[in-house]
Amino acid sequence: MKKKMSSVPFNGTPEQEAKLDAYIAEHRAEEGCLMPIMQEAQLIYGYLPKEVQIHIAEKLEIPAEEVFGVATFYSMFNLSPKGKYQISVCLGTACYVKGSREVLDKICEILDIQPGECTEDGMFSIEACRCVGACGLAPVMMVNGSDVYGRLKASEVEAIIEKYKEFEREEKEYENMG
């Protein structure tokens, strides 16, 4: 899978860095600690910006290309930030034979982005994911890994996306009021 390095400016906080450094200090002596550290870093920052990868390399005294190599090898490491609402459509075999490709195509069409991309307003990102193991509910899509929509039809996705846009509008109105 080809990955794009983000062009969004890095805006990590000192608190985030302190949290990561504490984790590195605790685990650096363990054999094979690089991946767990990168997984933790992604939890802290939401993705793995170039600056964070270099920081990890310096702390562990290994070449930055080694960190970058691991980051690009595994699909779960994100080099760009994700949308506020991360949509993932399962393209596992069970979902595929039940039509999840049509669901994915429909979402791409509605949001006008491709899998792996994020909408310009930073609201929605979409990805085609591997089997989530809920094959009995195929085809399945998830939003932010927790809202699960099963036995989906392509015709139903517009209403689902609209629901999140509605959340957003309500939140904005609420903010404007306050």
Kindly tell me which of 51 and 102 has the beta carbon lying closer to another protein: 102
Dist CA 56 CA 66 (whole Å) = 10
In the bound complex, what is the minimum distance in angstroms from residue 159's beta carbon to another protein? 16
Place of tokens 């310096």: 58
| Nearest residue to 28 via CA among 61, 53, 5, 3 | 61
Kindly tell me which of 49 and 139 has the beta carbon lying closer to another protein: 139
| Piece in contact with another protein (CB under 8 A), picked from 10-18, 28-36, 49-57, 166-174 | 28-36
| Interaction of residue 63 with another protein, rule CB under 8 A | no
| Interaction of residue 108 with another protein, rule CB under 8 A | no
Kindly tell me which of 8 and 97 has the beta carbon lying closer to another protein: 97
- Report yes or no: 87 and 142 within 8 Å, Cβ to Cβ: yes
| Interaction of residue 103 with another protein, rule CB under 8 A | no
Total binding residues for another protein by CB under 8 A? 37
Residues 6+ apart with CB under 8 A from 112: 119
Report the phi/psi class of residue 109: left, alpha or beta, with left for phi > 0 and alpha for psi in -120 to 50: alpha
Helices first, then strands: H and E counts in the chain:
7, 4
| Interaction of residue 92 with another protein, rule CB under 8 A | yes
Scanning residues 113 to 172, which ones bind another protein (CB under 8 A)? 129-138, 140, 148, 150, 155
In the bound complex, what is the minimum distance in angstroms from residue 30's beta carbon to another protein? 9
| Nearest residue to 85 via CA among 107, 105, 69 | 107
For residue 139, cis peptide bond before it (omega within 30 degrees of 0) = yes
Kindly tell me which of 36 and 46 has the beta carbon lying closer to another protein: 36
Residues that bind another protein (CB under 8 A): 1, 31-36, 39, 66, 69-70, 73-77, 91-94, 96-98, 129-138, 140, 148, 150, 155
